[in-house]
């Protein structure tokens, strides 16, 4: 769900659309379903979005902004680097995937996401890399990690983490299996800091 913003009508439309998509599936959801769920007339909905693909893309864009903010927040506080990385990975990748996979039409929506919002998915990965790199840099500045000792830089490590996550997701048999694999990768990265 999209939290409240300074555009309540947009929020209502996107949240209503998401509920329709997970309840009926993307292909079976109509603009009329979305309008009714948002408490709007169809003409009012069409003034804002030309079709449900536009609404879906707007939802994904809003989620990118929310998740990037959550990933950045994961690096605040006094937790260990392992805990910070795991929190970032959970809110940036595993939690959204798990929440979607647990819905009746999650598998369809994951496929639709790649089909009609593949460019946004690519942006998601770039934004996640940037947020993780910034978090690692902040951790280095706080002397919580020393990547330079190993000849590494924050951007490269962030890219390796994102690539590892995507690899684990592409080979997963379940979200729990992907979480175990990703947790092991994060523990390995964190352990290398103490070697």
Task: Kindly list the domain boundaries of the chain, sorted by start residue.
Answer: 60-192
What is each CA distance from 170 to 20, 99, 167, 173, in whole angstroms? 27, 17, 5, 9
What is each CA distance from 16 to 6, 33, 43, 63, 153, in whole angstroms? 17, 9, 16, 14, 42
Count other Cβ atoms within 10 Å, centred on residue 162. Answer: 22
Q: Is residue 97 pLDDT above 70, yes or no?
A: yes
Predicted local distance difference test score (pLDDT) of residue 1: 83
Predicted local distance difference test score (pLDDT) of residue 151: 86
Specify whether the CB–CB gap between 13 and 95 falls below 8 A.
Answer: no
Q: Using one digit for the tens of pLDDT, what is the confidence trace for 44-91? A: 999 999 999 999 999 999 999 999 999 999 999 899 999 999 999 999
Quote the tokens at residue 79: 């937790």
Global pTM value: 0.91
What is each CA distance from 178 to 72, 122, 145, in whole angstroms? 22, 20, 25
Domain 60-192 class? mainly alpha
Average pLDDT over residues 158-182: 91
Predicted local distance difference test score (pLDDT) of residue 175: 82
Predicted local distance difference test score (pLDDT) of residue 2: 87
Predicted local distance difference test score (pLDDT) of residue 92: 94
Predicted local distance difference test score (pLDDT) of residue 193: 67
Q: Using one digit for the tens of pLDDT, what is the confidence trace for 105-155? A: 998 998 898 899 999 999 999 999 999 999 999 999 998 888 888 888 999
Cα separation, 181 vs 167, in Å, equals 10
Average pLDDT over residues 157-184: 91
Specify whether the CB–CB gap between 85 and 189 falls below 8 A.
Answer: yes
Looking at per-residue pLDDT, the higher value among 98 and 38 belongs to 38
Which stretches within the chain are classed as H helix?
8-24, 31-38, 42-48, 52-73, 81-89, 95-101, 106-116, 118-141, 154-171, 175-192
């Amino acid at each position: 769900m999209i939290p409240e913003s300074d555009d309540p009508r947009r929020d209502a439309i996107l949240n209503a659309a998401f509920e329709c998509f997970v309840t009926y599936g993307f292909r079976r959801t109509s603009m009329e379903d979305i309008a009714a769920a948002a408490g709007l007339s169809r003409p009012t909905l069409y003034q804002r979005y030309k079709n449900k693909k536009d609404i879906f893309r707007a939802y994904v864009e809003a989620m990118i902004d929310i998740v990037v903010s959550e990933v950045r927040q994961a690096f605040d506080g006094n937790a260990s680097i392992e805990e910070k990385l795991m929190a970032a990975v959970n809110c940036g990748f595993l939690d959204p995937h798990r929440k979607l996979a647990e819905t009746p039409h999650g598998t369809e929506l994951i496929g639709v996401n790649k089909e009609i919002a593949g460019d946004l998915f690519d942006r998601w990965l770039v934004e996640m890399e940037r947020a993780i790199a910034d978090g690692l840099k902040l951790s280095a500045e706080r002397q919580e990690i020393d990547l330079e000792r190993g000849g590494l830089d924050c951007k490269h490590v962030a890219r390796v983490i994102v690539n590892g996550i995507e690899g684990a997701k592409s080979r997963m048999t379940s979200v729990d299996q992907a979480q175990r694999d990703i947790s092991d990768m994060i523990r390995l990265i964190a352990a290398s800091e103490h070697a």
